[in-house]
Amino acid sequence: MRICNQCKAPLKIDVWACTACGWQPRVLAGVLCLAPAMMVDHDGFHEPLFVEYEKLEATHFWFVYRRKLILDALQRYFPALRSFMDVGCGTAENLRAIQARFPRARLVGGEASLRALMQGQRKCKAQLLQMDARAIPFAQAFDVLGAFDVIEHVDDDAQVLAEMYRACRNDGGIVLTVPQHPSLWSHMDDAAKHKRRYTRQELVKKVEAAGFEIVDVTSFMTLLLPAMAISRVWQRAKPPGDAMDDGFRIGAAMNGMLGGVCTLEHNLIRAGLRFPAGGSLLLVARKKGWTL
């Protein structure tokens, strides 16, 4: 069910307009804009990075590995997926992969940046909405909602999780990825407009407080954690540059080598191993009271 961004009243089927309060969104560049103020001022992501990241997402080892973990989680815990929303979908690269894996699923992507959505329109058949993750315009509408390296950009991450809970069906769940370990903080996190890096305990506590039950949680980028830690120390020692992490600016040979390490780690996770520490966390949860 879709709901009004202003008064939360149910909206009529196929009509993005509220008869209760008169709210009606704008359409720009073919995208429904539910939070137009955020197109001008949103403190969640460095806008120019969308262009550079889009060039990397298909081949860079980090994006490729994270996407494999996301697809594995969806396939394992939600094999009959019929509907999915990507909260903070960026340029829709993950939605394209999910569409390929679940071709019959209804897909929706929400993102504050109109620029990113315009880049993502050509990639998949998902409905793309310009919106605020703190005001998801749905109630009990999706089997699964995902937020992949998104909630660390929002001051009130608890509000985003509460919105995801409301938009999730009673038998549904969520899949999250976030950066791990506050000790890894560097000026790259500042440049990327991160509000925090999570501990496992913090993330689990916030997800459970939103009303979910944890199904699975693991660190990833574990085998490369020592290299990441050294890189962060080096980053702290040098003057701040732009917002792109140096780890994303590597040659093809290095990308292939690091990708091989991630493939080894991926195989270990698929075999059932769960890591306690790593550069990032993957978490899967369902609404309380779910049954298999």
And the tokens for 200?
A: 């496992």
The pLDDT value recorded for residue 291 is 47
Residue 292 domain-assigned (yes or no): no
Residue 142 domain-assigned (yes or no): yes
Q: List pLDDT tens digits, range 202-254.
A: 999 999 999 999 999 999 999 999 988 887 777 666 665 555 555 567 889 99
The pLDDT value recorded for residue 292 is 40
The pLDDT value recorded for residue 237 is 65
And the tokens for 119?
A: 């880049």
- Nearest Cα to Cα of residue 162 among 174, 177, 178, 179: 174
And the tokens for 262?
A: 């991630």
The pLDDT value recorded for residue 104 is 96
The pLDDT value recorded for residue 210 is 97
Q: What is the CATH number of the domain that holds 122?
A: 3.40.50.150
Residue 61 domain-assigned (yes or no): yes
Residue 31 domain-assigned (yes or no): yes
State the residue for tokens 């085998």. Answer: 223
Residue 92 domain-assigned (yes or no): yes
Strand segments, DSSP code E, in the chain are: 26-28, 31-33, 83-87, 106-111, 127-130, 142-148, 168-179, 212-220, 280-287
Q: What domain range includes position 276?
A: 26-286
Low-confidence ranges of the chain (pLDDT < 50): 291-292
The pLDDT value recorded for residue 269 is 98
DSSP-based helix, strand, coil % in the chain, nearest 5: 40, 20, 40
Tell me how crowded residue 54 is: count the other CB atoms within 10 A of its CB: 17
Our count of domains for the chain comes to 1
The pLDDT value recorded for residue 244 is 52
Residue 8 domain-assigned (yes or no): no
Burial of 158 (0-12, 13-18, 19+ CB in 10 A): middle
The pLDDT value recorded for residue 192 is 81
And the tokens for 254?
A: 């290095």
Residue 139 domain-assigned (yes or no): yes
pTM (2 decimals)?
Answer: 0.92
The pLDDT value recorded for residue 226 is 93
And the tokens for 276?
A: 């306690």
Residue 128 domain-assigned (yes or no): yes
User: What is the sign of the dihedral through the CA atoms of 196, 130, 128 and 117?
Assistant: negative
Contact 212, 288 (CB under 8 A): yes
CA distances to 187, 232, 254, 291 from 244, in Å = 11, 13, 17, 42
The pLDDT value recorded for residue 41 is 62
**Beta pairing, strands 280-287 & 212-220:** antiparallel
